Amino acid sequence: MSSNSFGKLFTVTTFGESHGPAIGCVIDGCPPGLSISAEEFKTDLERRATGRSRYTSQRHEADDVEILSGVYEGRTTGTPIALLIRNTDQRSKDYGDIVQTFRPGHADYTYWQKYGIRDPRGGGRSSARETTMRVAAAVIAKKWLAERYGVRVRGYLAQIGEITPDTFDWNAVEQNPFFWPDAAQVPALETYMNALRKSGDSVGARVNVVADGVPPGWGEPIYGKLDGDLASALMSINAVKGVEIGDGFAAVSQRGSQHRDEMSMDGFASNHAGGILGGISSGQPVTASIVLKPTSSILIPGHSVNLTGEPTEVVTKGRHDPCVGIRATPIAEAMMALVLIDHALRHRAQCGDVGTVEPLIPGQSGQ
Ligand code: EPS
């Protein structure tokens, strides 16, 4: 009912608030025998973390993962894996003013309407802090997908405000704090972000995510389509307001002769579909794109109402992200990986034998 769990066979439940003592997750259904150590969570958690550059919130968390269960002598046992990260750098006084009012454009208002009570410290459960545990759970998912199927999930920042990359190089993406694929543009982004920060405003962004090596067959029509589950998972990321699969909304002005991905014995000639046909992976790269809104916690005063229904003005103080999309790349990758591992296990359960006797297409495995 309360929807803090995600996935059918690889089920992740997250818990915790931004300024509570800790955040955590329980992963149920992880295949046994996967080697995993606390050390392996570090890279992706650091990629997602605040305070990694001056262009994100300056909250500094160690994000050290404690593995509480489900791992014995460095390998998953098939039992629930519980992961815990203690919060250490809360500054709840920043939220003193928010207790009595609502930031325009923030979940402050809808949480209050829904529950009649809320933890205003750091946005409580609505905080992007929660995405830490998605990224942690996905470290396990990514590793299993890579080892078992050779799947690699990676993403990049594809737009900030009006700025798009002039060139594209995967190698550039991990070399700058924006996950930007054009190294030559990074100084311009820094100038842009410095000016934005000074103005006290925020800006939106687009993140693209790609999974290579996904075999054909993952996804369950009709109500468990791979693209349907991906859209839901990506939309569940804080601040996401739009999701596209493959060409997405560009398809509106395309012709069928242009959009279809023609096939030959050498494979597909293009990938407008984003690797998914009829809700099932085609064996091509699975591609998705998300749009993150400009964050609502800004220094520019805005009109709002207080708890007694009177008009008031809100200025958000504290440590906020002027562009939350800057650190959304690892989160988008995480949600893609969590959907893929869930569907890999679901496909294996129902259709694991299909194509194992006779290949479905000569030269290709049905797995
Ligand atoms: C966030 C507001 C800030 C960010 C936080 C997300 O919280 P605080 O005021 O406590 O510093 O730092 O991000 C994280 C802590 C994180 O780990 O991502 C928000 O409103 O979502």
Point out the ligand 1 atom lying closest to the alpha carbon of residue 90.
10
Residue pLDDT, tens place only, 253-298: 999 999 999 999 999 999 999 999 999 999 999 999 999 999 999 9
Nearest to 24 by CA among 66, 71, 59: 66
What confidence score (pLDDT) does residue 364 get? Answer: 57
- Do 70 and 79 meet the contact criterion of CB atoms below 8 Å apart? yes
Phi, psi (deg, nearest 5) at residue 75: -130, 145
CA of 16 to the centre of ligand 1 (A): 13
User: Which residue's alpha carbon is nearest to atom 15 within ligand 1?
Assistant: 129
Burial class (CB in 10 A: 0-12, 13-18, 19+), 363: exposed
CATH superfamily of 97-351: Chorismate synthase AroC (3.60.150.10)
Residues with CB under 6 A from ligand 1: 18, 50, 57, 59, 61, 90, 94, 122-123, 127-129, 132, 238, 297, 318-320
Phi, psi (deg, nearest 5) at residue 364: -125, 145
Q: What residues have CB less than 8 Å from 248, skipping those under 6 apart? A: 274, 289
Residue of 45, 50, 293 to mutate, ligand 1, most atoms within 8 A of C-beta: 50
For 215, the token pair is 């075999």
Q: Averaged in consecutive runs of 10 residues, what is the pLDDT profile of the chain (367 residues)?
A: 94 98 98 98 98 95 98 98 98 93 95 95 96 98 98 98 98 98 98 96 98 97 97 98 98 98 95 98 98 96 95 93 97 99 98 75 53
Single-letter residue type at 76: T
* DSSP states of 103-134: -TTSTHHHHHHHHS----GGGGGGSGGGHHHH
For 160, the token pair is 């900030």
CA of 235 to the centre of ligand 1 (A): 19
- Do 33 and 48 meet the contact criterion of CB atoms below 8 Å apart? no
CA of 57 to the centre of ligand 1 (A): 7
Mutual angle of helices 329-351 and 226-235, in 10-degree steps: 150
- Do 111 and 318 meet the contact criterion of CB atoms below 8 Å apart? no
What confidence score (pLDDT) does residue 358 get? Answer: 61
What confidence score (pLDDT) does residue 355 get? Answer: 75
The residues spanned by each domain of the chain are: 97-351
Residue for token pair 């992706």: 44
Say how far apart CA 72 and CA 75 lie, in whole Å.
5
User: Which residue's alpha carbon is nearest to atom 14 within ligand 1?
Assistant: 129
What confidence score (pLDDT) does residue 363 get? Answer: 52
Say how far apart CA 45 and CA 163 lie, in whole Å.
26
SS3 296: coil
Say how far apart CA 255 and CA 16 lie, in whole Å.
47
How many CA atoms lie within 13 Å of 297's alpha carbon, on the beta-carbon side? Answer: 24
Distances (CA, A) of 25 to 60, 142, 223, 259: 21, 16, 26, 40
